[in-house]
Amino acid sequence: MRRKVQFMIVQMEGNDMKILVPVKRVIDYNVKPRVKSDGSGVDLANVKMSMNPFDEISVEEAIRLKEAGKAEEIVAVSVGPQKAQETLRTALAMGADRAILVNTDEEVEPLGVAKILAKIVEEEAPQLVICGKQAIDDDSNQTGQMLAALLGWGQGTFANTVELDGNSVDVKREIDGGLQTVKLNLPAVVTTDLRLNEPRYASLPNIMKAKKKPMDEKTVADYGVDITPRLTTTNVSEPPVRQAGEKVADVDALVEKLKAVGAI
Amino acid sequence: MKTLIWVEHDNASMKDATLAVVTAAAKLGEVHALVAGSGCASVADQVAKVDGIATVHVADDAALANGLAENVAPLVAGLMDSHDAFLAPATTTGKNIAPRVAALLDVMQISDILSVESADTFTRPIYAGNAIATVKTSDSKLVITVRGTAFDKAATEGGSASIEAVGGASDAGTSAFVSEEIAKSERPELTSAKTIVSGGRALGSSEKFEEVITPLADKLGAAIGASRAAVDAGYVPNDYQVGQTGKIVAPEVYMAIGISGAIQHLAGMKDSKVIVAINKDEDAPIFQVADIGLVADLFDAVPELTSKV
Ligand SMILES: Cc1cc2nc3c(=O)[nH]c(=O)nc-3n(C[C@H](O)[C@H](O)[C@H](O)COP(=O)(O)OP(=O)(O)OC[C@H]3O[C@@H](n4cnc5c(N)ncnc54)[C@H](O)[C@@H]3O)c2cc1C
Ligand SMILES: Nc1ncnc2c1ncn2[C@@H]1O[C@H](COP(=O)(O)O)[C@@H](O)[C@H]1O
């Protein structure tokens, strides 16, 4: 009797746990973005693009859960242009099992992305979706929360620690005053913060192996979702430039300056 | 337009972050406030005194005690039947709740606004503040988060709003609060401090951070901030992080000590009035935005500075 119960628990933890990881292709975080002079946007021609850094953290977390025997399969998803394939290959090389590209040249807003992801969740039935907390291009910080709302699931945003346990997940969250822990029933959405883990680099053999992993190509129409933008960007401008001030020679001169500007 | 603002609080007192939201909302129309919590009557009293608020709606329910988005968002979405815009501060609470409300209403959130240009047009930073986008919405209901440093704070006195109880809160049953680790400190809060002393990776350890940065901050009555590198290395808690993905600050004086000035850090502090940088590398990018720069070893310069201010 006892044995049987244990066996069932193992089954629940191991075999059913599928993790969906949405990853976005964005400007590399080391690149300083340049605003186009006609105010139409940021110049992305010939600019290095990478996986959104928070999404690397998401992929890493999913892999660690799999390595710990708590997850079975990791599916990476990206909504974006054909080139987003590269981002998905990176996720596969890190250790995701398969990928889905929802191919579109339109700029899809977080609400649209969340709607597409909700459809994919219906098909794939993951127990956990791990998003980044924020895409470093639009800085929206919305998609994961929106997805959780559309699915009626719990949300553990800005995760510092994720502990998966049978039917629930404990998420320690980075909040303004410190840390907060919430317990979510599964299935649930988690969004990752910087301290959750340090993402690995894909090794050369794994990059080779990733080329053979399955990648499904879909279109937005396959999901029957209306992604018509709700927001129109009418102008993109440079922020006011700050002029560098002056350097002072020593601490005494610094104190003088601080007094002069009324800082002390 | 009738707006509904999210009051940030801990069931005992209203947080300052609320006040900038009042100012932003007032640019759109009549300001109504929502105090959602448990045993939060004293918060409602404080909010009613804030200048510029017409009505304070109080939802007092055990399910709202910890501001769980799963329980709060349906309540807000319900109240949006009789309001046109929901505005929350771009704090971790606001960022957690507002997008969930937006999705329930089937509208796009406008994140982190810097200005209200008109009833449907706003500016907001993108690409770590390296670009400012002007966005116009076609949604009939607005859901907005507000950057606190971009709007003046409403006065905490002078108002006399009516207080109304609202019901209908319930536990969605999908999440539960477990615990919280909130550091209590005598220091001013980072986002409302007049002076901030921030330390970076160069400090080398939490002991050194404490030994070098803290006495200067004490002397100046300043809040303490940090770069991501200093937080990641465990010198200080995560909520000290200033930057694109941490806290956005704009104090009178910001001192960056042993911080290189990566764009992600600048995104969080470059609207400070006076920026002071101490760095031993004269080419450090922080000097490109600093009003006053000192090229020096911080382990010599900062103790000397502390003794002389
Ligand atoms: C997705 C993402 C989000 C990020 N978000 C943020 C964010 O919100 N906030 C943030 O800060 N960073 C953020 N970063 C990290 C950012 O890119 C930088 O890595 C970080 O800001 C560097 O911190 P630092 O300046 O302390 O360290 P470093 O870049 O290592 O700089 C240390 C500086 O100290 C100086 N120094 C060394 N020794 C001394 C000494 N004895 N005396 C004086 N000076 C000395 C050096 O010359 C150097 O300039 C983010 C990165 C990513 C990828
Ligand atoms: N086009 C996209 N494709 C896949 N995932 C996305 C996309 N856009 C946003 N996401 C996910 O949502 C997170 C938050 O993005 P945002 O709400 O745009 O700041 C990202 O870190 C991704 O995990």
Q: What ipTM score was computed for the predicted complex, to two decimals?
A: 0.98
Does the distance separating the beta carbons of B264 and A29 come in below 8 Å?
A: yes
Is B109's C-beta closer than 6 angstroms to any atom of ligand 1?
no
Average pLDDT score over chain A = 94
A62 three-state secondary structure: helix
Q: What is the mean pLDDT of residues B105-117?
A: 98
For the stretch A138-183, pLDDT in tens is 999 999 999 999 999 999 999 999 999 989 999 999 999 999 999 9
User: What Rg, from alpha-carbon coordinates, does chain B have?
Assistant: 21
Dist. CA B238 → ligand 1 center (Å): 14
pLDDT attached to residue A5:
44
- Give the model's confidence band at A15: pLDDT under 50 very low, under 70 low, under 90 confident, else very high: low
- For residue A133, which ligand has an atom nearest its CA? 2
pLDDT attached to residue A10:
43
- Indicate which residue's Cα is closest to atom 38 of ligand 1: B202
Using a pLDDT cut of 70, give the percent of chain B over it: 100
Task: Estimate the crossing angle of helix B92-105 against helix A110-124, to 10 degrees.
Answer: 70
Q: Kindly report the backbone phi and psi dihedral angles of residue A107, in degrees, each rounded to the nearest multiple of 5, phi listed first.
A: -85, 115
Name every chain B residue with its beta carbon within 8 A of the beta carbon of A183.
175-176, 178
CA-nearest of B237, B263, B142, B71 to A139 is B263
Is B251's C-beta closer than 6 angstroms to any atom of ligand 1?
no
- Residue at token pair 């406008």: B110
- Indicate which residue's Cα is closest to atom 4 of ligand 1: B264
Does the distance separating the beta carbons of A179 and B180 come in below 8 Å?
A: yes
State how far residue B185 is from chain A, nearest Cα, in angstroms.
10
- Give the model's confidence band at A1: pLDDT under 50 very low, under 70 low, under 90 confident, else very high: very low
pLDDT of residue A3 exceeding 80: no
In total, chain B counts a number of residues equal to: 309
pLDDT of residue B257 exceeding 70: yes
Is B195's C-beta closer than 6 angstroms to any atom of ligand 1?
no
Q: What is the mean pLDDT of residues A185-203?
A: 97
Would strands B131-137 and A231-237 be described as parallel, antiparallel, or unpaired? antiparallel
Does the distance separating the beta carbons of B133 and A245 come in below 8 Å?
A: no
Does the distance separating the beta carbons of B288 and A234 come in below 8 Å?
A: no
Is B244's C-beta closer than 6 angstroms to any atom of ligand 1?
yes
Average pLDDT score over chain B = 97
Is A65's C-beta closer than 6 angstroms to any atom of ligand 2?
no
Using a pLDDT cut of 90, give the percent of chain A over it: 90
pLDDT attached to residue B139:
98
pLDDT attached to residue A4:
43
CA-nearest of A19, A15, A35 to A27 is A35
pLDDT attached to residue A9:
44
Dihedral (Cα; A218, A222, A223, A227), 10-degree rounding:
80
Does the distance separating the beta carbons of B96 and A158 come in below 8 Å?
A: yes
Does the distance separating the beta carbons of A27 and B127 come in below 8 Å?
A: yes
State how far residue B207 is from chain A, nearest Cα, in angstroms.
20
Instruction: Give the contacts of A73 (CB within 8 A, at least 6 positions apart).
Output: A17, A18, A19, A66, A97, A98
* Chain B CA closest to residue A177: B182
pLDDT of residue B155 exceeding 90: yes
- Give the model's confidence band at A264: pLDDT under 50 very low, under 70 low, under 90 confident, else very high: confident
**What number does the ligand 2 atom closest to the CA of A140 have?**
19
User: What Rg, from alpha-carbon coordinates, does chain A have?
Assistant: 22
pLDDT attached to residue A244:
87
For the stretch B43-85, pLDDT in tens is 999 999 999 999 999 999 999 999 999 999 999 999 999 999 9
Is A134's C-beta closer than 6 angstroms to any atom of ligand 2?
yes
- Give the whole-angstrom CA distance, residue B240 versus residue B190: 8
Structure tokens at B199: 């330390």
